Structure 1
Amino acid sequence: MRKAGLQLATFLALTVSALPAFAASCKDASGFPAWLESFKQEAAQKGHSPQAIAALSGLSYAPDVVAKDRAQNVFSQSFLEFSDRMVAKYRMQKGAQLIKQNAKLFDRIQKDYGVPAPVLVGFWGLETDFGVNLGDMPTLRSLATLAYDCRRPQLFHDQLMAALTVIDRGDLTAAEMKGPWAGELGQVQFLATHYRDFAVDYDGDGRRDLIKSVPDVLASAANLLVHEGWQANQPWLTEVRVPENLDWAQADLQIQHPISTWKKMGVTVAPGSHLPESDLKASLLLPMGRHGPAFLAYQNYRVYLEWNQSFIYATTAAYYATRLAGAPPVGRGNDAKQLPYKDVVELQKLLAKRGHDVGKADGMIGAGTRAAVKAMQIELGMPADSYPDVALLQRLRAGT
């Protein structure tokens, strides 16, 4: 599933100034061999074994990897488009089957880490179709190319160094390190730094094998989630219904209210879903604005955003887990629509001209764009649900 280097969104995009030695030449592939030799020397100084460093010998620059890095656009889809595709019938059936087949393993993991089976299976299914689609590109070549490239050199420099640690530990051989273009590894697509820091040997064979060992895969995913803040015995997402006269500005991940307060505002649970008994704090999540599906998102939902900062991916993964836990299909809302890609790009540019920081005009309705849209809606006296629509775009085009 990592066609867009999904988990990499959890890291800051570090600038070229972090590695000035090759900042001027990183766009010229002819400098790659010399850079690689320099990296090998650094790896030796940091104590990596000659055997691990030898795995870097002969690596060539991969222009196709850089091209893929520049062409990420999977999350320009709406929540309903993406979740309809990803939470497919076969993933529901296979996920339920695997939960049943591995019941003892999941019970052990939940006892040790507090992470329930549906959450783990949700990531397992979305990332690699439960270990079927791991990717076949040589990981070291991808990481070395991206470490040399100008866009995020320090991020991938650290990933490549971490991959050598995984080899030195005996967890994987260089030949076993194959995956998607951005260098993630294993059945839940760990970054090499996550593999180094959070992979666990749960089957007791002396290796942390996230490619072939299902116990290692699932326990490692749970270990990472706990590190990111997962709270045992707590919910993550509940579908709800919202009244038409709601103060839409309250629908914001930065705003939390106790469930009792949301009820007073007229928020009710969706048919087939269940609210927790305790009066937990939650945010009202409207992935497609006031006309689309609605959820209460609890503290554990924020862990999904730590796994992957793409709002659409995180919400889809959390929703998939609720389905595996017994929730019904999400409601479609009332005439929820997303602007076409080109219109989102135009809107982002218009917002930027108004002084709002939307980052790159990439056609994706991420956190920055949502915050800018909300601010603009408030300024214009429009319903501030943080979701761009035709009415807002027309107002911006008219300069009103």
Structure 2
Amino acid sequence: MPRNTLTQLALTGLLTLLPLSGPLHAMETEEFQACLAGIESQARSEGVSQNILSENLRTARWQERVIELDRRQPEFTTPFHEYLNRRVTDDRVEQGRRLLAEHRPLLEEIAEQYGVPPQYLVAFWGLETNYGSFFGNMRVIDSLATLACDQRRSAYFTTELIAALRILDNEAMGAEEMEGSWAGAMGHVQFMPSIFLQYAVDYDGSGQRDLWGSVPDAMASAANFLHGIGWEHGYRWGREVVLPDDFDFSLAGGDDRLSLEEWRRMGVRMTNGDRLPAVDIEARLLLPAGHRGPAFLVYDNFDVIMRWNRSEYYALAVGHLANRIAGSAGLHNPPPTDTPRLDREQVKTLQEGLQSAGHDPGPVDGILGPATRRAIRDFQRDADKVPDGFPHPDVLEAFDVGESS
């Protein structure tokens, strides 16, 4: 099976970030071995064979690089224009179109079985590993053992480590074949071990669920996963729309779900000027770059994409790339390139300021999530500004938050 260098795009929204409180230090060998001994006991009690534990867990190595990468995920600090433009490039679109044509019979067969259209499977493939170019070259057992013995998310990664050991116990593969990302994600579509166990399929009939060497297995597994977490056949993820000049921006970015008919009555239109389709479906409105940027109505399948990766930016990138691969043009209203870049400490300063002003941003965690955007929207409304929930420079200035260099 081919092995390549890592470009990890899948899990940045899934894994919650915490800022460093000081320099990183490697775990002492005795402490690491004691942690692994506890995990070995748990894995044995859950049915993992002793030979697998002896051959793999006892030889696991602490990887300081894994801890460094875990602490440096950029998902919540990268402006939308930068995030989207790095992931939905012309080259990636063209390659996706070629692969869609090359694998169309396979992908249409999978779509018939699982209900997920081919362009979405290719889009996930493109974002996760650049169509199989970057699987990751880190030993999965080492990565997961390191993260399981790190206090930040020990319970989650212990579960994933035991799942990886189960794969070695149940599948016809060895640990040297199980390479992946720094966080333990594997293969063409970067499945975590627990997802592999539940959703990976042997679609090509080889007798092995091979997410590294078999495109049929990888694509069918991705479709099986999406189907299993609620993909609705016959519906799209959402669409870019155009808002009327007098639009009430307080309806954007939150949990408000309105029918397409209600959005139509407000004057929301498709980008070609046509009225929204008369479909009985509800949608939320997202403004990832504020009121000056693109507007998106997103449907239930958008939320399914976010169950794969809990990042609105990621889900929008998947949807937009799928559209482009299927033949659509670029965005009608591309995001502005002058939006602020904020680091986590600056977001914390903003959250503290909003909190002091009586606008609840949720936890002061440095993450510009839905609660913080609602608080910004409340502040903007009180200050007679456009209430789009976006940290425009005037919002930052009001709370003495400088922009990152």
Alignment TM-score, normalising by the size of structure 1:
0.89
Aligned equivalent of 1:22? none
Render the CA deviation track for 1:211-249: whole Å, top value 9, x for unaligned: 111111011111111122110011112111112210111
Matched ranges for 1:142-291 at <5 A: 142-271=143-272, 275-291=276-292
For 1:240 and 1:8, locate their aligned partners in 2 and report how far apart those are by CA, in whole Å: 27
Matched ranges for 1:25-104 at <5 A: 28=28, 30-53=30-53, 54-104=55-105
Asked if the contact 1:124/1:131 (under 8 Å) is kept, the reply is yes
Cα distance 1:110–1:7, how it changes in 2: closer, same or farther (>3 A)?
same
Query: Deviation of residue 280 (structure 1)?
Result: 2.0
For 2:27 and 2:384, locate their aligned partners in 1 and report how far apart those are by CA, in whole Å: 46
Q: Does 1:135 align with 2:136?
A: yes
For 1:275 and 1:141, locate their aligned partners in 2 and report how far apart those are by CA, in whole Å: 51
For 2:102 and 2:318, locate their aligned partners in 1 and report how far apart those are by CA, in whole Å: 21
Render the CA deviation track for 1:148-193: whole Å, top value 9, x for unaligned: 0010000000000100111112153211111111111111111111
* 1:66 partner amino acid: I
Query: Deviation of residue 271 (structure 1)?
Result: 2.9
For 2:380 and 2:163, locate their aligned partners in 1 and report how far apart those are by CA, in whole Å: 45
Asked if the contact 2:52/2:169 (under 8 Å) is kept, the reply is yes
For 1:165 and 1:274, locate their aligned partners in 2 and report how far apart those are by CA, in whole Å: 52
Aligned equivalent of 1:23? none
**Aligned pair count?**
387
Alignment TM-score, normalising by the size of structure 2:
0.88
For 1:297 and 1:215, locate their aligned partners in 2 and report how far apart those are by CA, in whole Å: 29
Asked if the contact 1:172/1:209 (under 8 Å) is kept, the reply is no
Render the CA deviation track for 1:36-63: whole Å, top value 9, x for unaligned: 1222222222211233212122212111
Asked if the contact 2:13/2:314 (under 8 Å) is kept, the reply is no
- The equivalent position to 2:360 in structure 1, one of 323, 345, 356, is 356
Q: Superposition RMSD on alpha carbons, in Å?
A: 2.7
Aligned equivalent of 2:11? 7
Asked if the contact 1:377/1:383 (under 8 Å) is kept, the reply is yes
For 1:272 and 1:90, locate their aligned partners in 2 and report how far apart those are by CA, in whole Å: 29
Identity %: 35
Asked if the contact 2:48/2:165 (under 8 Å) is kept, the reply is yes
Question: 5+ residue gaps in structure 1?
Answer: 15-25
Query: Deviation of residue 345 (structure 1)?
Result: 5.1
Aligned equivalent of 1:373? 376
For 1:78 and 1:13, locate their aligned partners in 2 and report how far apart those are by CA, in whole Å: 17
For 1:178 and 1:49, locate their aligned partners in 2 and report how far apart those are by CA, in whole Å: 21
For 2:335 and 2:342, locate their aligned partners in 1 and report how far apart those are by CA, in whole Å: 21
Cα distance 1:334–1:193, how it changes in 2: closer, same or farther (>3 A)?
closer
Aligned equivalent of 1:20? none
* 2:399 partner amino acid: L
Q: Does 1:387 align with 2:376?
A: no
Asked if the contact 2:261/2:278 (under 8 Å) is kept, the reply is no
Asked if the contact 2:284/2:298 (under 8 Å) is kept, the reply is yes
For 2:254 and 2:330, locate their aligned partners in 1 and report how far apart those are by CA, in whole Å: 23
Of 185-194 and 382-391, deviating more is: 382-391
Aligned equivalent of 1:17? none
Of 138-147 and 343-352, deviating more is: 343-352
Of 316-325 and 107-116, deviating more is: 316-325
For 1:42 and 1:227, locate their aligned partners in 2 and report how far apart those are by CA, in whole Å: 28
Question: 5+ residue gaps in structure 2?
Answer: 19-25
